[in-house]
């Protein structure tokens, strides 16, 4: 993070001496700490918020890889339904729930499917649909955050460290924001020009003034946007099933995931944990509690190399394959992130 801030400071100095007055004011309005780094937790949240929603219609296509463009006609257990809006998904669900026989959804082809990146594909028959489903990459199971909205337009200040050039990008839609965030590279520093406005899950307009506020806004929306009809086992049940590894660790802006390469974690219902690396197993324990309204988990390991993981972690979200945790220091307010992924 210190390197990124230094580069952005250099960029601002460059802008002050080489850009027109209007550009100077735009660039210098955003402090270095507001940069968005590719692969960061905030970048991931923005991507999930701006992507084409692909999970909301799983009752139709049983895939979170793409959505089916409406309107579409389907047949369920002999009943034909024209799905015109998202409200009609419930009609399809009711037909599936009320049948004791075949609850498969049959489409009247052709149909059009739309991927997370808003690209579309015409599907002519069942074989095409099956191929599209099989071609989907592995899903991390983290659904879109689709019940809150960033209000456009927003402006993003950009500095390219390779070409030493600055410019601004005006984002007018979700598809533009998704494309921008997912095309970020390590040589590009991007910073949102705050304040921006957004609409929360209660349809209320809120003003967001920083990356920290935007991150909290999107994190808080995860539970609000969850499909209430989706069954998810308890956190303890998921944690104590299978073997886990550290798939992401970020300490105060520095990605240090490689520090935990090769460690496998098995959590037990009696609050014990076994950690294995290179056939050497050490032990520890874990415990969950509620603090300041947050569900938290705390680890203790009999291995000094894992001491940085011994924090009280906020449980941000979880599913069968991934657990996302966050720690906020009570001292300087620094933030760490820890993700476990199931082997």
Q: Give the pLDDT confidence of 130-179 residue by residue, as tens digits.
A: 999 999 876 666 889 999 999 999 999 999 989 999 999 999 999 999 99
Q: Which fold has domain 235-342?
A: Lipocalin (2.40.128)
Helix ranges (DSSP H) in 19-71: 21-28, 41-50, 58-61
0.85 exceeded by pTM: no
Cα gap 167→191, rounded to integer Å: 11
Residue 100: per-residue pLDDT = 67
Average pLDDT over all residues of the chain: 87
* CB proximity list for 332: less than 8 A, separation 6 or greater: none
- Residue pLDDT, tens place only, 217-261: 999 999 888 754 444 568 999 999 999 999 999 998 899 999 999
pLDDT beyond 50 at 27: no
Structural domain boundaries in the chain: 2-51+145-225, 58-134, 235-342
**What integer is the mean pLDDT of 322-326?**
95
Segment among 224-238, 289-303, 329-343 with least mean pLDDT = 224-238
What is the structure's pLDDT at 329? 86
Instruction: Give the residue among 267, 268, 326, 270 at the shortest CA–CA distance from 295.
Output: 326
């Amino acid at each position: 993070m210190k390197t990124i801030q230094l580069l952005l400071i250099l960029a601002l100095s460059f802008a002050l001496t080489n850009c027109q007055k209007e550009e100077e004011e735009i660039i210098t309005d955003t402090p270095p700490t507001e940069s968005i780094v590719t692969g960061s937790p905030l970048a991931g949240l923005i991507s999930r918020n701006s992507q084409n929603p692909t999970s909301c219609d799983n009752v139709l296509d049983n895939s979170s890889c793409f959505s089916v463009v409406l309107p579409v006609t389907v047949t369920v257990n002999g009943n034909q339904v024209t799905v015109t809006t998202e409200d009609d998904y419930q009609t399809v669900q009711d037909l599936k729930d009320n049948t004791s026989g075949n609850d498969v959804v049959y489409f009247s082809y052709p149909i059009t499917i739309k991927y997370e990146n808003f690209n579309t594909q015409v599907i002519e028959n069942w074989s095409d649909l099956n191929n599209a489903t099989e071609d989907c990459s592995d899903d991390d199971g983290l659904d879109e955050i689709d019940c809150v909205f960033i209000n456009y337009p927003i402006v993003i200040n950009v500095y390219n460290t390779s070409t030493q050039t600055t410019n601004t990008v005006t984002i007018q839609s979700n598809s533009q924001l998704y494309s921008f965030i997912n095309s970020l590279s390590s040589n590009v520093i991007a910073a949102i020009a705050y304040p921006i406005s957004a609409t929360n899950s209660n349809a209320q307009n809120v003003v967001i003034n920083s990356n920290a506020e935007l991150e909290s806004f999107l994190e808080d929306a995860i539970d609000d946007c969850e499909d209430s009809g989706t069954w998810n086992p308890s956190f303890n049940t998921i944690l104590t099933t299978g073997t886990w590894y550290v798939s992401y660790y970020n300490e105060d802006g520095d990605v240090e995931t490689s520090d935990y390469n090769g460690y496998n974690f098995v959590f037990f219902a009696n609050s014990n944990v076994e950690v294995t690396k290179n056939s050497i197993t050490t032990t520890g324990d874990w415990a969950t509690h509620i603090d300041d309204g947050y569900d938290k988990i705390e680890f203790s390991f009999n291995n000094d190399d894992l001491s940085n993981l011994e924090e009280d972690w906020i449980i941000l979200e979880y599913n069968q394959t991934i657990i996302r945790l966050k720690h906020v220091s009570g001292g300087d307010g620094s933030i760490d992130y820890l993700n476990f992924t199931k082997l």
